[in-house]
Amino acid sequence: MNVLIVDDNAANRSLLKALFEPLGHSVLSTTNGEKALEAMRREKIDLIISDILMPVMDGFRLCMESKRDEKFKRIPFIFYTATYTDKEDEEFALSLGADRFIRKPMDPEAFLGIISEVTQQAREGSFKPKEMALNEKESLKGYSHRLAKKLDKKVKELQKELAKRIEAEERLKHVNRYLKSIIENANVWFNVLDENAQVTMWNKAAEQISGYSATEVVGRREIWEWLYPNEKYRHQIAAKVDAIIRKGEVVEDLETLIRRKDGETRIISWYSRNLTDERGSPVGSVALGRDVTRRNKAESEVKEIARRYRQLFDANADALYVLDKDGRFLDANISAERRYQYAREELLGMTARDLAAADLKDRTADRVRQSMMDGAPFEWRHQRRDGTEFPVEIAPSVMDFGGGQKAILSAVRDITERKRAEEEREQLQKQLNQAQKMESVGRLAGGVAHDYNNILSVIIGYSELALEKVGPNDPLREDLREIYIAAGRSRDITRQLLAFARKETIAPEVLDVNATAESMLKILRRLIGEDIELVWLPGKGLWPVLMDPSQIDQMLANLCVNARDAIADVGKITIETGAVAFDRAYCADHAGFAPGDFVMLAVSDDGCGMDRETLDKIFEPFFTTKDVGKGTGLGLATVYGIVKQNNGFINVYSEPGQGTTFRIYLPIHAGDIAEKRRKDAEKAPRGRGETVLVVEDEMTILALTEKLLTNLNYTVLTARTPSEALQTAKAHAGEISLLITDVIMPEMNGRELAQQVFGLYPKMRCLYMSGYTADVISHRGVIDREFRFIQKPFSYRDLAAKVREALDQE
């Protein structure tokens, strides 16, 4: 059989096809009534199964058409419908002539049962097709009625659905409005950006915080330039926003600094994330911002105060640290780190005991307890990491270290300097005391010496007078001579005392210490004897000094004699000179030294040396360790006096059995260097080979004078006594141009001697010399004023000048 299926639904068509073909039927499918009629005209159809609701021509119309047509009205017509399922619809369909009315969905068994019944009847010829029961008008009316009803139903359904949808939309709108008002009025900055970072929403809080209104910013991008005027900063922010929108980054608690429209700045803390559509593609971002300016300000103020306190703590020059009650470090400043050579972290793991000097460690715990109680400052000693110890003064103060924990804040001052200064002061005080003692002793000695000098002058004067009165063979003569000699010795001592007391007249001049010392060497050698070697080590580049050259002679003589006495039999004495400069630092370390340039004159020996006790007293006048008659105790006192008079200083180094070194520092005479050069250029007037007779009882002076005059190109005759002088004068073959004689001598005075020699050499000139001033001598009537006079001790140049003067005088 050929079955025609009419259905606009492809699924229904293929379902029916699948039902019929296995049963041996051939199936023809069409999609509407018109197509079905065409097929029926083309082919022989045995059965029609049709849907009702279809486009172009529905099932009702198809049924009507086929039942009206003579050729088709016998083909069984079966409705198969899902839309028109009412009883009314079935009745209407059957009245149109439909043979069967089947409602979808129907169980295939039942469906096939109905179909096979119809086909069976058709095959057997017993099928009685239905006739259309309605006329044309009736059927059309029914049809339109059906249609209207159906449409009405559909409209109602649609209306219902529409109503539902409208309600939902309303609700959504309401929710949106509600949300919007919440967002609008929230006191949190809320803004939405689209995927181009353009502002699409900007709430009231955003307006208030930024100062820009929504109308100004919505739909614009420039807002970022306004909020972040700094270009670099703006780029950073833009990159962040881009990451949020495009990469889905979520920002939380990000703080940025914005500039308000009025130019003020605000700190905003942001939460921001992206917005996406249903498919998850980025469509923009939403940002919530809180104004945290005030909070930040408060926080940064607290931080600033803390930082400032830390700075004060660290900047303190004193080491500061905090200890708990067990002496553990709770904090320490930079000065403490530096002073103790531990990093702060290390100190925090240590206790006060670790910093205490070795011998104080065991007392530390008690000390900490004590500080907890009284908070009184105390002196202590500390130890650095390298073990070096130093004195400190600790000022503790008890404090609350937070949480009620009691702690000690200790300010520690390094008092090394102070201690040193104290010691130095003590030392200086001692020296001052010593100097004062020397001064008073000196004054006393000077006073005594002065009186003694007068007395001695009388003794000497009268013993001289007495000597003149007694004859050469008088038994009293020897006694008087002894008195005279002893008085002379006393006078020498008195002179030394006067030198010590700085009362002796001196004639300072700018001189070269090397030259002066060198001129003394021969005499010094004689003084110390053959068993002792004398080494001379002149230094180079010495500045001149301003002093009386005889003082140098005197110092050298005294020091060398002492050195000789210190050496038992054989040994060595070294005289050394050098240029030295002391700066302030050196003088700060060496008590009694003054800064400046000096000429150093040193006398060393390898003799017995001295112990501490002796060293402390050697400069005192009359201090001697030597036997009575051997030592006077005035040698070093004299040296000391000379050094002080010349603003120099003296330093002794000695150890028992090791020898002794005396170093004398004489300040250079910088001011007179030019003068000295001039004087040097102006040569000492020299002799023309004239013969000079020198009379002097002091062996050393005689030798010195002889040497000087020989150097000055004079022929020198010497005599130690007036009688010797007279003998020499008589014995001499040629001229004697000049007599240089001491004024006060045993046997006869200088004047008497001169008169006697004048008898032999009438053209001879005379030059007197004396340790006394010319004034004293002329006063005593020993010499006449017009006679030439040179005061002992004299310099080379003085002598040269005076000798020349005397010789050239008319």
Return residues touching Mg ion (CB under 5 A).
Answer: 562, 635
Here the tokens at position 808 are: 């050239």
> Of 23-31, 289-297, 503-511, 560-568, which segment contacts ligand ADP by CB under 6 A?
560-568
Q: What is the DSSP string of 289-308?
A: EEE-HHHHHHHHHHHHHHHH
* CB-based contact 341:387 (threshold 8 Å): no
- In the list 607, 641, 648, 793, the residue contacting ligand ADP (rule: CB under 6 A) is 607
| Site residues (CB under 6 A) for ligand ADP, limited to 500-559 | 558
- Residue 614, interface with ligand ADP (CB under 6 A)? yes
The interface region with ligand ADP, picked from 109-117, 590-598, 625-633, 802-810 by CB under 6 A, is 625-633
State both tokens at 171.
């609700």
Decide whether 557 or 702 has the Cβ nearer to Mg ion.
557
| Rounded CA separation 662/654 (Å) | 9
Q: Per DSSP, what are the bridge partners of residue 248? A: none
CB nearer to ligand ADP: pick between 252 and 569 = 569
Amino acid identity of residue 339, one-letter, is R
Looking at the Cβ atoms of 573 and 782, the one nearer to ligand ADP is: 573
Could you say which of 618, 684, 767, 783 contacts ligand ADP (CB under 6 A)?
618
> Among residues 37, 566, 704, 739, which is the contact residue for ligand ADP, using CB under 6 A?
566
CA distances from 360 to 320, 355, 413, 682 (A): 20, 10, 17, 72
- The set of residues, in sequence order, having a beta carbon less than 8 Å from that of 204 and lying 6+ positions away, is 184, 185
205 binds, among Mg ion, ligand ADP, none (CB under 5 to 8 A by kind): none
Answer for the pair 601, 663: CB distance below 8 angstroms, yes or no: yes
Cis omega (within 30 of 0) for bond into 549: no
Angle (CA) 752 754 757, round 5°: 115
Catalogue the long-range contacts made by 183-192 (C-beta closer than 8 Å, 24 or more residues apart): 188/288, 188/289, 188/290, 189/268, 189/287, 189/288, 189/289, 189/290, 189/291, 190/286, 190/287, 190/288, 190/289, 191/286, 191/287, 191/289, 192/275, 192/284, 192/285, 192/286, 192/287
Task: Provide the minimum distance between the beta carbon of 624 and ligand ADP in the complex, in angstroms, as a whole number.
Answer: 3
> Cα(228)–Cα(259) distance, rounded to whole angstroms?
6
| Nearest residue (CB) to ligand ADP, 85 versus 658 | 658
Q: 632 touches which of ligand ADP, Mg ion, none (CB within 5 to 8 A by kind)?
A: ligand ADP
Q: Which is nearer to Mg ion, 333 or 562 (CB)?
A: 562
Give the x/- contact pattern for ligand ADP in 660-689, rule: CB under 6 A. x-----------------------------
Give least dist CB 654 to ligand ADP, A.
Answer: 6
Closest distance of CB 782 from Mg ion, Å: 32
Q: Are strands 199-202 and 649-655 parallel, antiparallel or unpaired?
A: unpaired
Residue number of the CB atom closest to ligand ADP: 635
Cβ contact 22:33 at 8 Å? no
Q: Name the segment binding ligand ADP (CB under 6 A); options: 167-175, 281-289, 607-615, 770-778.
A: 607-615
Based on CB atoms, which residue is closest to ligand ADP, 578 or 607? 607
User: Least Å distance between CB 724 and ligand ADP?
Assistant: 31
> Where would I find the H helices in 712-779?
722-731, 750-760, 774-779
Q: Which is nearer to ligand ADP, 457 or 624 (CB)?
A: 624
**Contact by Cβ (8 Å): 522, 557:** no
At residue 274, what are phi and psi to the nearest 5 degrees? Answer: -85, 165
Closer residue to Mg ion, CB minimum distance, 564 or 788: 564
Which of positions 626-665 make contact with ligand ADP (CB under 6 A)? 626, 631-637, 660
Interface pattern 181-200 for ligand ADP (x via CB under 6 A): --------------------
Contact 759, 729 (CB under 8 A): no
Least distance CB 704 / ligand ADP (angstroms): 22
* Minimum CB–partner distance for residue 797 and ligand ADP (Å): 30
Closest CA to 694 of 671, 665, 714: 714
Token duo for residue 620: 């005192």
316 makes contact with ligand ADP (CB under 6 A): no
Given the complex with ligand ADP, which of 33 and 659 has the nearer CB atom?
659
Minimum distance from CB of 520 to ligand ADP (Å)? 17
Of 244-252, 264-272, 606-614, 742-750: span binding ligand ADP (CB under 6 A): 606-614
CB 192 within 8 A of CB 275: yes
Residue 625 interacts with ligand ADP (CB under 6 A): yes or no = yes
Given Mg ion, ligand ADP, none, residue 729, with its beta carbon under 5 to 8 Å by kind, binds none
User: What's the full length of the chain, in residues?
Assistant: 810
Which residue lies nearer to ligand ADP by CB, 285 or 558? 558
Helix/strand/coil for 604: strand
Residue least distant from Mg ion (Cβ):
635
For the bound state, the minimum distance from the C-beta of residue 607 to ligand ADP, rounded and expressed in Å, comes to: 5
Of the pair 5, 573, the CB lying nearest ligand ADP is at: 573
Binding status of residue 201 toward ligand ADP by CB under 6 A: no
Q: Which of 398-406, 476-484, 608-616, 769-777 is the region at the interface with ligand ADP (rule: CB under 6 A)? A: 608-616
Which residue, 619 or 787, has its beta carbon nearer to Mg ion?
A: 619
Q: Which does 607 bind (CB under 5 to 8 A by kind): ligand ADP, Mg ion, none?
A: ligand ADP
The residue (of 378 and 622) whose beta carbon lies closer to ligand ADP is 622
Q: Is the preceding peptide bond at 377 cis, omega within 30 degrees of 0?
A: no
Looking at beta carbons only, is 24 or 629 nearer to ligand ADP?
Answer: 629
Coil, helix or strand at residue 78 = strand
Answer whether 313's CB lies under 8 Å from 292's CB. Answer: no
* 575 lines the binding site for ligand ADP (CB under 6 A): no
Please work out the total of residues on this chain that contact ligand ADP, with binding judged by CB under 6 A: 23
Tell me if 717 contacts ligand ADP by CB under 6 A: no
Q: How far is the CB of 729 from ligand ADP (least distance, A)?
A: 39
> Residue 150 contacts by C-beta under 8 Å, 6 or more apart in sequence?
53, 83, 84
536: closest CA among 601, 474, 480? 601
- Say which entry of Mg ion, ligand ADP, none residue 407 contacts (CB below 5 to 8 A, set by partner kind): none
CB of 510 within 8 A of CB of 468?
no
Distance CA 635, CA 620 (A): 10
Query: Should residue 397 be labelled a site residue for ligand ADP when binding is judged by CB under 6 A?
Result: no
Residues that bind ligand ADP (CB under 6 A): 558, 562-563, 566, 605, 607-610, 614, 618, 623-626, 631-637, 660
